[in-house]
Amino acid sequence: MYFPQFIPYSFIEKEASHVEGFSPELALVTIGGGKELEEKLVVRPTSETIVNHMFTQWIHSYRDLPLKINQWVNVTRWEMRTKPFVRTLEFLWQEGHTGHATEEEAEEEALQMIEVYRKFAVEEAAIPVIVGRKSKLETFAGAVRTYTIEAMMGDRKALQAGTSHNLGQNFSRAFNTQFLDSQGEQQYIWQTSWAISTRMVGGIIMTHGDDMGLMLPPRLAPIQVVIIPIWKTDAEKETVLAAATSVHDQLKKEGVRTKVDASEQKTPGWKFNFWEMKGVPLRIEIGPRDVANKTVVVSRRDIPGKSGKMFGISMDPSQLHSFVIAKLQEVQDNLFNIAVSFRDSNIEDVSSFEDLKAAIAAGKWARGPWAGSDADEARIKEETGATIRCFPFEQPSHSGRCFMTQNAAKEVAIFAKSY
């Protein structure tokens, strides 16, 4: 569905911690059509407040629940320090908002959605993520619990790639969103919200990119295979172009996203660099000799140099298609595996604050048992720049002692500098 972009300021003020959390970042419209507006309007930073305002009107009984809606929209947060995709003044996202009759259902929904995000990151974007729960300090302003997927970028900083919040009854109490349960009692609804944004594109760039430029996972690459015809004479040009077009059409028919770069102003070498920079996973080269042999040369973006080149690949449509599909999958898997090794080799298990400081200073992530207070957590941030990324769902079997306070700790937490 679609909720309006403008939120009356009074809405935002209704949920105390929400307004506190977002207030400095709100873009306010005060003039419209040449006139000063009666009430200043906020350009949505997120839509919980409007959603609740409407949920209050739409939800009356348990039969109206669960109510689940989603919207794909732009949001605005007047950030101080911006970075393309990762932190921008305006960005695109989807935000889902659900209302439930019970706490259990809401919790289940929140967990279900973070799993959807995890699946996308891992299977489509080839980004390994750690799924976990945010610390109280890091939880969404107004939520009871925030779940997150945390990814490690090429510079080893953490990127929060998607979040799912169990809002409990915080917003429903602030907005009086109630329902008549099956026992005839008025109850506040239990809610969730969850979002993933264009920040994910930044994540893809920073996880896989290298010195040659972008490296796009085949599942998401707009162009999966670029075909470069190579010729010297006009006679060669005709046959080579015909072959290139034929290969393109065959692959396209089978659902491969492919493009022929037949422009005459650039040399093949230039084109190789260009499409590598654009991160296209596979390149097919066709020269006169290839045409004669009915073969093509296939190069992988993820393996540089000669090792990534495969010669004499049959031009026969079904053979080439199977080959291309197999290679695309290999690239996808390879990108993922490299990212996993990179990440795993850059997480250190720590058992003391000193260890943590060393790990963070070395640019790594630190993982250790944690039972510290909010103040302890804030101290770590102040002294090292690292924040708790999450308490991972995957926990070691044995508990330990908090590396900072030495109290008994039930869980390990992951600390890192982040975007």
Partner 1 sequence: MSSEANQEELQNGTRSTNKQGSKKPPKEKKETVPSGKEVKKETKLGMTVKKNENFGDWYSEVVVKSGMIEYYDVSGCYILRPWSYAIWEVLKDFFDAEIKKLGIQNSYFPLFVSEQALTKEKDHIEGFAPEVAWVTKSGNTELEVPIAIRPTSETVMYPVFAKWIRGHRDLPLRLNQWCNVVRWEFKHPTPFIRSREFLWQEGHTAFATKEEADEEVKIVLELYRKIYEEYLAVPVVKGIKSEVEKFAGGLYTTTVEAFIPNTGRGIQGATSHCLGQNFSKMFEIFFEDDKGERSLVWQNSWAFTTRVIGVMVMIHGDDKGLVLPPKVATVQVVIIPVPYKNVDFNQMLDACNEVSQKLESAGLRVKQDTRDNYPPGWKYSDWELKGVPLRIEIGPKDIENKQVRMVRRDNFEKEDVPLEKVAQRAADLLDEIQANLFKKAKEVRDLCIKKVFTWEDFIEALNDKKMVLAPWCDDVEVEEDVKARTKGDTGAAKTLCMPFEQPDLPDGTVCFASGKPAKRWALWGRSY
The residues binding partner 1 (CB under 8 A) are 1-8, 11, 23-34, 40-41, 43, 50, 53-54, 57-61, 63-69, 73-74, 76, 78, 89-90, 92, 180, 182-184, 263, 265
Q: How far is the CB of 156 from partner 1 (least distance, A)?
A: 30
DSSP-derived pairing of the beta strands 347-349 and 365-370: parallel
Query: What CA–CA distances, in Å, run from 281 to 30, 121, 194, 257?
Result: 48, 18, 31, 11
> For partner 1, which is the closer residue by CB, 25 or 349?
25
> For partner 1, which is the closer residue by CB, 7 or 129?
7
Q: How far is the CB of 67 from partner 1 (least distance, A)?
A: 4
> For partner 1, which is the closer residue by CB, 82 or 405?
82
Q: How far is the CB of 31 from partner 1 (least distance, A)?
A: 4
Measured distance CA(130)–CA(148) in Å, rounded: 8
Q: How far is the CB of 25 from partner 1 (least distance, A)?
A: 6
Q: Is 57 helix (H, G, I), strand (E, B) or coil?
A: helix
Measured distance CA(311)–CA(165) in Å, rounded: 51
Q: How far is the CB of 26 from partner 1 (least distance, A)?
A: 6
Measured distance CA(91)–CA(197) in Å, rounded: 7
Q: How far is the CB of 27 from partner 1 (least distance, A)?
A: 5
Sequence-separated (6 or more) residues with CB below 8 Å from residue 118: 129, 131, 149, 162
CA nearest 227: which of 291, 319, 307, 302? 291
> For partner 1, which is the closer residue by CB, 25 or 115?
25
> For partner 1, which is the closer residue by CB, 40 or 381?
40
Q: How far is the CB of 351 from partner 1 (least distance, A)?
A: 41
> For partner 1, which is the closer residue by CB, 8 or 304?
8
> For partner 1, which is the closer residue by CB, 76 or 163?
76
Sequence-separated (6 or more) residues with CB below 8 Å from residue 112: none
* 327 neighbors 343 (Cβ within 8 angstroms): no
CA nearest 191: which of 93, 72, 102? 102
Sequence-separated (6 or more) residues with CB below 8 Å from residue 335: 126, 208, 215, 217, 302
